[in-house]
Structures are given as structure tokens and as C-alpha cells.
Amino acid sequence: MSEHKTLKSEYISRINKTFDYIESNLEKPMTLEELARIANFSKFHFNRIFQSIVGETPFQFILRVRLEKAAMLILNNKKESISEIAFKCGFSDISIFSRNFKHYFQISASKYRIKKSNNSNLSQQDSNWYQREERPTQYFCPELKTIKWRTNMKLNKSVEVKELPKMTVAYIRHIGPYKGDNKLFERIWNRLFTWAGPRGLIGGKDFKSLVIYHDDPNVTIEDKLRMSVCITVPAETKVEGEVGKMEIDAARYVVARFELTPQDFQEAWGWVYGEWLPSSGYQPDDKPCFEIYPEEPKDGKFIVDICIPVKPI
């Protein structure tokens, strides 16, 4: 690897650490000195370095991510007031939140909730819900001592809600468009496995490969979308360069297994959000979603577990 690429990957590594720190502490106030320390840059140069790599200053990035997270929660958590959501997303003053939200989305937060809910596919699917034959039905699985769902959705193999354990993952992050770009995913997987293979990190009883989606593609513009291709690793694993490391907290998830071609992923995600969630008694929780790949793809088809954090309505 050339010296230029080595230096660039080191910068990306430090910025990724900053991203992870911001995402884990979004509800808290943060200072430039604090972020510079996380990135191991001088506070006098950190702002310029961050902006040159990300295209935004650190505080422009934090404000945007907070607003986009608030927009997602406003739509998904109907029982929470807009003020509660604003405070949860790091805004201590509701008037500042309201002003910034309207500036960014060109509509007030309250009108955003009404307009988006009325115009969304989820709302349309809700209104016709009880007329559908494909409505998921619950049953108790004696073998696993848990509730599962029967569905008539052709791509779906199973649905259950379960606690997933805490996981440490090594990742390579991509910022920008990714929808339908199979070659992009292949390139990132190849780079990650090229790093992990010689270190003996591939395989084993609890090994998992997954893709984490940090942003809602219905809210965040494509050029700013963040996605991390990951593998589970031991907690003490050392990472460097473009390969970062983070923890996924233990939490309750709906785990919906599908058999998909690359063209089917959007339909599968839409089904979980638009058909399973409204009938389940659950709502999305405030954590990233991800896909787990329990098997190697065969004949152009993927076995995929779509994992969405949930909590009772």
C-alpha cells in the first residue's frame, strides 16, 4: 500500500471513530475539543480536516443527524410528543429545534408528522389492513418458548421477536448512494475479508456477517447515507486504517428471514415496516437496523435476516 493510501485510511479511521462517538452520544452536548480528542487530532485543525473529508463541519453534521433522527422518530413514535423527541435528539430548547427543523425540511415538525403519515405507504397499508388475506398471525412455538408469526408473504421464511446479544464488529463504512449497487457491496466485502482472513477472524461458532444502516433513506439524501459492512470479532481485536470497530448493544429485535434476489431487498424491508409492524404491537426502537447474512448466497439468492430494534407501542 502506498504511503498516500496509508495516510488517507488513517484519517478515515479517525473520522469513523468520531462518527461512532457522535452516534452513541447524540442526546448529549458535545464540544469541538471533545470530538478532536476522540479523533486524536489537534483541536486547531480538526474542524478543517473533518470538513474536507465529510463535506460538512462537525457541528453541521451533528445538527443534520439530530434533525434526521428526530424526523424518523416523529413518524415512527406517534405516542411521543415532538418536544420529547427533540430532547431525546439532543435539543435542549424546543424553539431552536423547531426553527432548525423547519429550515431543514421546509415544514414544521407537527405538519411533517401529519403530511408524511397521510402520504406514506404505511398509512395507506394501515387503512386497508383488515381487508388483507396476508395479515401475519401470531402463534406460540413450544420448542423455542417464544411467539412467532405465520405469513403468506412469498419471500418471507419466518418472523420472530427476540433478544440479540451484544456484538463487537469490525467494519468498513461507506458514505453515499448504495441502493441496488451490488458491485459496491462486493468491493467492500472483499476489502473487509482481505483484512480479516489473514488475522483468523472469519468463521467460528458465533461468527456473523452483517450490514448496518445508520440513516433512514426516506429522510437522508443519498449522498449523505451511511452504511457499514461488518463482521463480528472478539472484543479485543485490533483495527487500523479504514477498518473500524464498534459495539452493537444487546436489544430486542424483530428478526424477519427472507430469501431474496438483489432486486427484492426493498420489497422485503417495505413489508416489515408496512405490514408486519402495524399488526405486531411493536414500534421501531431508537437504534440502527441491520441485515445478517447467515448463509453464503446461492444461485443469485441471499438468505437474509432483516433486524429492526423494537419496543412495545
CATH value at residue 196 = 3.20.80.10
Domain identity same for 172 and 102 = no
Question: Which residues have a Cβ under 8 Å from the Cβ of 228 and sit 6 or more positions away?
Answer: 169, 171, 172, 173, 174, 211, 212, 214, 244, 246
124 falls within a domain = no
Residue with the bigger pLDDT between 149 and 203: it is 203
**Residues β-bridged to residue 310:** 284
138 falls within a domain = no
Least confident of 147-156, 234-243, 250-259, 274-283: 147-156
Domain identity same for 303 and 246 = yes
Q: Are 252 and 162 in contact (CB under 8 A)?
A: yes
Residue with the bigger pLDDT between 217 and 138: it is 217
131 falls within a domain = no
For residue 301, count CB atoms less than 10 angstroms from its CB and return exposed for 0-12, middle for 13-18, buried for 19 or more.
middle
Over residues 288-308, mean pLDDT: 92
Domain identity same for 183 and 308 = yes
Per DSSP, the three-state class of 115 is helix
Where does the pLDDT of residue 218 fall: very low under 50, low under 70, confident under 90, or very high at 90 and above? confident
Where does the pLDDT of residue 125 fall: very low under 50, low under 70, confident under 90, or very high at 90 and above? very low
Domain identity same for 185 and 100 = no
- Rounded distance, CA 86 to CA 95, Å? 10
Radius of gyration of the chain (CA): 20
Number of folded domains in the chain? 2
Domain identity same for 15 and 107 = yes
CATH number at residue 81: 1.10.10.60
- Rounded distance, CA 70 to CA 133, Å? 34
Q: Which long-range contacts link 216-222 to residues 24+ away (Cβ below 8 Å)?
A: 216/68, 216/71, 216/72, 217/179, 219/68, 219/71, 219/72, 220/68, 222/176, 222/177, 222/179
Residues spanned by the domain of 274: 160-312
- Rounded distance, CA 306 to CA 294, Å? 11
The grid cell for 307 is: 433486524
Over residues 89-106, mean pLDDT: 95
Over residues 151-178, mean pLDDT: 91
Q: Are 64 and 211 in contact (CB under 8 A)?
A: no
